[in-house]
Structure formats: structure tokens, C-alpha cells
Structure 1
Amino acid sequence: MTERRLTVLFVPESAYGPTNNCVGIGDVLRRRGHRVVFAAEASWKGKLTALGFEEDLVDLAPPSEGEQDAGQFWKDFIRDTAPEFRKPTIEQLETWIKPVWEELIAGVKYCEPQLRGIIERVQPDVIVEDNVVCFPALLTAGKPFVRIMSCNPLELRTGDVPPVFSGYPAADRSGWAQFREAYDRSHRALWEEFNAWVVEQGAPALPELDFIHEGATNLYVYPEAADYERALGPSWHRLDSSVRETDEKFELPTELRDGDGALIYFSLGSLGSADVELMRRVIGVLAGTPHRYIVSKGPLHEEIELPSNMWGAEFLPQTSILPLVDLVITHGGNNTTTEALHFGKPMVLLPLFWDQYDNAQRMDELGFGVRLDTYRFTDEELTRTVERLLADHALRKRLADVGAEIRRRDGLRRAADLIKGAASSTT
């Protein structure tokens, strides 16, 4: 019997992490013969069709003059608000986390009519959203709705795990209640206003203090080896990883291939690398070590000079590079964190914002990496941490075993199967 060809509509957040996650899953579905359409933000124009997908894009704000880089809005936002990252996470709730929600909600309201038009044109069999905020049009379309959570799983808030965005340890509950009270105090009025608007659009009311609904099928990306100990409902399915297979192959540059020392990958992500001062600080410290570095320079790459033991570019095929390296220095974004575990690599984590603190803390408390204070680490602290992780052969063996099990579970195809199953459940 021939498999029914589905039309799958992906609606990812504009940032690279969620979009790349959807690209990986969508590519599996596309190669199985299904029609895959992306309702991504307009700055992604042409980048998704180049991968074989259809694009039906949305504006989250009035269009800017001229062409923008993919995700440019959030790159600018991060660059302009970077001073907030130096504050304790509980202080960022009012001055950074809340403004992010406000920007996200403004985008939702602006594009709601566009999304309704896209759904009418595309006529999807299933709608897949990888974002942190509700788009009512996706819930009122009368189609199966799949939510992907490609942030740290603390985003699914329950009382038996640390509060999301806190970076607090799982073994010490002393600050949990205070952080949750601060979140309630800073966010309740915004949530109430947004919830009322969501209901006005015909969608169900939002869960208490959450800005997004669950779907009938829900996927989250985090390896079992790193996950939090708690019971989730039957609609939730773990993907141990979701590593796209669309990245181009990577050949190690000659200047690094012939060098000495370990090979290390350094990336603060497409958004974090917009903090050029921080990039320069880390690069300056690492320049004095005997190791070789591949550097993801990001959108402001022209402002970042690399010493002789480093090579880098604005964009790099990260999933093709990670298997080659001995260590990863990262901001702790969910994609990079789970991809490093997928390939069994230890990490030095320099969190900047959002769930990166939670990922950094989790890797540190499990012994998969070391969390440093991003803006207060000393030169010696960073170099000593790099040397210790490189010399820890027991950790490297442990991570190699973790990575092998993650790869065996093949989260990418599991996600495709679950999305297909969600679409088929109504037919």
C-alpha cells in the first residue's frame, strides 16, 4: 500500500536553533515523499527553498527596507540588550526575559492574519510549531497540531524541577520559590493580556502563566542521559537528539590540519556572537594556548580577527564539525548542547540568556561539562578548565558511550514518525 502524501506546515521561531531543528525533521519527511512547507519569518527567504522546501513566509513586524539576514531582528535585539546578560538571572526577568516575551507577542499579533492566509493556501494535514509562544491561527485551523520544544525541557514547568531561565541547580531548592514569585510578579499582567487576546482569536485559554499551549502530540529535544527526573504525560515524547543531515561536508583547513594540540570548536551561536566584546575576550585568552580552534564568528564576523591557531567563518556547518573536535566551548544553546552530546563531546559553557543558563547548569551538575561565569571568568580559569576536560579520559569514554546511545535512538526519524502519526490520527 502506498503511503499517503502529507502536507506538513512547519512554523519555527526565527532564530537559527528552532529553524535548523525543523529543517532536520522536515528533510526526513521531504525525502519520504511528503510536501513540506515553511511558514518562517521573511528574512529566511530563499534559504529554505534551497534545501528543497516550499516557503510561504510571514512578517513579524512591518517590513524593513532592503534585504535582511536570516533572523536579523533577534541579532539586533541581542546586540542592543547584551548588558543585561551581566545581571543575575532573577534580575533579568524584568529587564530582559519580559521584553523578549513582549517582542514575541507583538510579532504574533502582527502576523496572525498572514498565518490564517497561509493555512488557507497550504491546506496542511498537520501543523508543527517549534516556538515558545502561541500563534492562535495554528490552533483554530482545525488541523492536528504538534508542538516541538527545542529549548531546555524546564520550559515545561512543573514544581519538581528548577524554574526555567534560572540556571539554578536541581539539587538545591533554596532559591526556586523566590524565582517563581519574581516571575509571577513580573509576567502576570502581560500573560493576562495576551491570554485574553488569544481567546478573542478563538483559541483555547493558555495554561497558567504559560505563553503557549500543548498539542495533542508534543516533542522535546533532550537526551535521556541529561534529562530531569520527572513524569510527563503520555502526549510528551522525548527526542534524544535532532541533528539535521543537511549541513555541507567540512574539510579541516590546512592551517589547522597540520597544527599541534587538541582541536576545539568555539561558538556562541548566531545570536550570542553578536556580543563582539565577549567574542574577542574569549579568543584573546585561547590564543595563548597550544591548541587549534574552529571559530563560528557569527553575523559581525568582519569585526572579529583570529590569531594564527584559529580558523573561522561567519557560518559553519556545525553538525559536520562536531565529530572532528575534542572539546566544545559554547553558549549552551539547546541545539549546540544536544548536538555536542550526540557526538559525545565535553563542553565549556558560557551562558548568555534564556535557557542557556539551564543547559549550562545541567551539563555542569551531571559532569558533562563545566559552567563558567560568562563575564567574570579569569584567563587562568578558562585555560585550566580546557586542559582539565581534555585530560579527563574517563569523561571522554563516558561521553562516547552516551553519544553512541543517543545516535542509536535516532531522534530525527522518531520525530518524523510522530508527526506522521499525528496527521494520520485524524484520517
Structure 2
Amino acid sequence: NVPPYLSGLAADDPSRAAFEVRYLAAVAPAHDRFNRLRIDAGLAPLPKGLFLEASPDLNLLLTPTIVRRERAKQLDPARFVYLEGCVRSEGPFDLPVFPRNDGPLVYLSFGSLGAMDVGLIERMLAVFDRLPARFIVNVGGLRDTYRAVPDNVYLDAWFPQPSVVAKSDLFIHHGGNNSFCEALRFGVPSLIMPYCWDGHDNAQRAEETGVGRHIGRDGWSDDELENAILGLMADSEMRFRLKENAATMARAPGTEIAAEAILALVRT
């Protein structure tokens, strides 16, 4: 019941087999080098396409219950400990005063790599300009690149992300695990626009579980982005479910459970 890693597919997607064939072919040269390195180090080679192996002692899994998949074969709970995410603490964040200071708050961050896509963010800013909301946008080290910024948008190179997400009504992000878990921890809907790695999987899972929406980074229209933003902020059923989940995650802090599991292992 678990789709191929990095595929962005649903578990029952009929293109699964084709993806697996192409994935194995694409990673084969790197995997061959990796296995030679393992053999030189006295380790057994891993099966094709596999770069990670589970610890025989303890494995910490960061997937919150609300987006967790049902496995046909359950993992050994003595070795695999699920966490309700693992959200870091940051300093407080004081909201800026916008020239247009009305409406819900939306936070946008695509991470340090995604911030390099200035053209994409400029397109999004043009859509933000016509919406009745305030937008905080992380643009990394390229802040000076932006000349015309709407009055309802605040740009900066860095933000204490968990503290900003906690005050937001919507989080637009690339689907990285930290961002996804932070949105879930604070009960905030996600609009995910992935570009690499686990972002594709998390975007698919957000749609499947009703905790957000997925829009491709290319091919969207201004109206499509506007409707996605307004639709997520108006979805009261989703927001209620996310708030309930946020309370569940708050009662079981992943950092504390992880620390307890590690200490228990050390003591044995």
C-alpha cells in the first residue's frame, strides 16, 4: 500500500510499474558505485535501487498519523517508532504592518533551492496583488532582485518558519518534510508546489488525505492559483480536521518521543 519513493504516485496508480523500471535504470550507475563502496568497506551490497537500510536497533519515522499509510505488512514496533512529526522550536515572530493590512495571512517558502526560481515567485506575486490577503514570502538571498512588490506582500531572506506558520492561515510550500509537518503541527492547510525529492510524494498525500492541495510549478493559470488559495482558506471542514490533528500532535511532541526512544535504547 506504499507507492514508490519519490514517484509522486498514488499507491494504486497503474503507471507504478513503468516508474519503477525507469527509476532503476536512472539510478543504476550511482547504485553500482555505492555498492562497490559498501563492498570495499566490508558491507554487503544492497538490492537494486535501495540506498538506505533499516537500523537493526532503532528507526524513527516522522510521518504523522493523519497522513500515514496503511501497510499490508506492519513494521516491527520494537525497531520502528512513529513520531507525530518532529517540529523544531524557533524564536518569536512579530508580524509586520502591511500597507494593505487586511485579510488572512499566507506564508510562502520554497526552501533555499526553490527561492532561486525568481520567475515563478514573481508570477505568484502578481496573483497575490489581487487577493484580499496578506502574504509573507521567503525569497532567500535574492531579496534585492524584486523591484515591484505589492502592498500586501512582505519579502525577506529568512524567517523563523515554525513561528510564522503558527500564525498563518495557509502555507504555500514545496512539500519538504519539515514544511509539511510544520503545517500539520499548527493546523494550517498546505498548497504544495513540489520540484524535487519527497515533495512530490507529500503533495500527492496531501491531496489524498484532505490536508491540502497540489499544483504543479508549471502550467498553472492566474485564476487556478487564485482559486486554490481562496478555496483552501474557505474550506472549513479541512480546517476543523487540521485543528484536531494539531492538538493530537501537540500532545505527542516528536522530539520528546524520539529522545525517550533513544535513551531507552542506550539503557538496554
TM-score, structure 1 as length reference: 0.59
Structure 2 match to 1:369: 212
Conserved 8 A contact 2:175-2:193: yes
Structure 2 match to 1:280: 122
Confirm whether residue 291 of structure 1 aligns to residue 133 of structure 2: yes
Counterpart of 2:160 (choices 307, 317, 322) is: 317
Amino acid at match of 1:289: L
Confirm whether residue 217 of structure 1 aligns to residue 61 of structure 2: no
Alignment deviations for residues 220-260 of structure 1 (CA, whole Å, 9 cap, x no partner): 21111101111223311111111112x1110111227x711
Structure 2 match to 1:391: 234
Output the CA distance in 2 between the equivalents of 1:208 and 1:232: 21
Output the CA distance in 2 between the equivalents of 1:417 and 1:302: 45
Aligned residue pairs total 263
Output the CA distance in 2 between the equivalents of 1:265 and 1:188: 39
Output the CA distance in 2 between the equivalents of 1:269 and 1:226: 22
Structure 2 match to 1:199: 39
Q: Please state whether the residue corresponding to 1:271 is helix, strand or coil.
A: helix
Output the CA distance in 2 between the equivalents of 1:353 and 1:383: 24
Counterpart of 2:19 (choices 165, 169, 179) is: 179
Alignment deviations for residues 89-127 of structure 1 (CA, whole Å, 9 cap, x no partner): xxxxxxxxxxxxxxxxxxxxxxxxxxxxxxxxxxxxxxx
Q: Which runs of 5+ in 2 are unaligned?
A: none
Structure 1 match to 2:103: 261
Counterpart of 2:86 (choices 220, 231, 242) is: 242
Larger RCO (CA within 8 A; separation ≥ 6): 2
Confirm whether residue 356 of structure 1 aligns to residue 199 of structure 2: yes
Counterpart of 2:144 (choices 295, 302, 311) is: 302
Query: Shift of residue 207 of structure 1?
Result: 4.5
Amino acid at match of 2:101: G
Conserved 8 A contact 2:28-2:48: no
Q: Which runs of 5+ in 1 are unaligned?
A: 1-159
Structure 1 match to 2:248: 405
Query: Shift of residue 362 of structure 1?
Result: 0.5
Q: Please state whether the residue corresponding to 2:137 is helix, strand or coil.
A: strand
Query: Shift of residue 300 of structure 1?
Result: 2.2
Identify which range, 332-341 or 292-301, moves more after superposition: 292-301
Q: Please state whether the residue corresponding to 2:251 is helix, strand or coil.
A: helix
Conserved 8 A contact 2:128-2:153: no
Output the CA distance in 1 between the equivalents of 2:150 and 2:226: 16
Displaced runs of 4 or more, over 4 A: none
Q: Please state whether the residue corresponding to 1:228 is helix, strand or coil.
A: coil
Structure 2 match to 1:17: none
Within a 5 Å distance, the mapping from 1:2-401 to structure 2 comes to: 160-170=1-11, 172-215=12-55, 216-230=57-71, 231-234=74-77, 235-245=79-89, 247-255=90-98, 259-305=101-147, 306-401=149-244
Amino acid at match of 2:33: E
Output the CA distance in 2 between the equivalents of 1:406 and 1:240: 5
Conserved 8 A contact 1:263-1:292: yes
Q: Please state whether the residue corresponding to 1:348 is helix, strand or coil.
A: strand
Amino acid at match of 1:162: P
Conserved 8 A contact 1:297-1:304: no
Task: Give me the CA root mean square deviation.
Answer: 1.6
Output the CA distance in 2 between the equivalents of 1:202 and 1:386: 52
Conserved 8 A contact 2:66-2:209: no
Output the CA distance in 2 between the equivalents of 1:302 and 1:419: 44
Amino acid at match of 2:159: L
Conserved 8 A contact 1:226-1:363: yes
Output the CA distance in 2 between the equivalents of 1:386 and 1:260: 16
